Amino acid sequence: LDPMGAKGIGEIPLVGFTAAVANAVYHATGKRIRELPITPDKVI
């Protein structure tokens, strides 16, 4: 976000994408990741 609270147009789809990846990791491993980036150390 910039100081006015606006997002760049390219950033909008990434919000849902990262949540989908985090949910996929959870369903595959059973471990909930709530911080990005998702690294192997966080998953193991």
DSSP letters spanning 3-17: TTS---GGGHHHHHH
Catalytic-residue membership of 35:
no
Looking at residue 27, its pLDDT comes to: 97
5, 10, 11, 32: the active-site residue: 11
- The pTM for the full model equals 0.60
pLDDT of residue 13: 62
The answer to whether the Cα torsion of 25, 30, 34, 36 is positive or negative is: negative
Q: Which residues of the chain have pLDDT under 70?
A: 1-2, 7-15
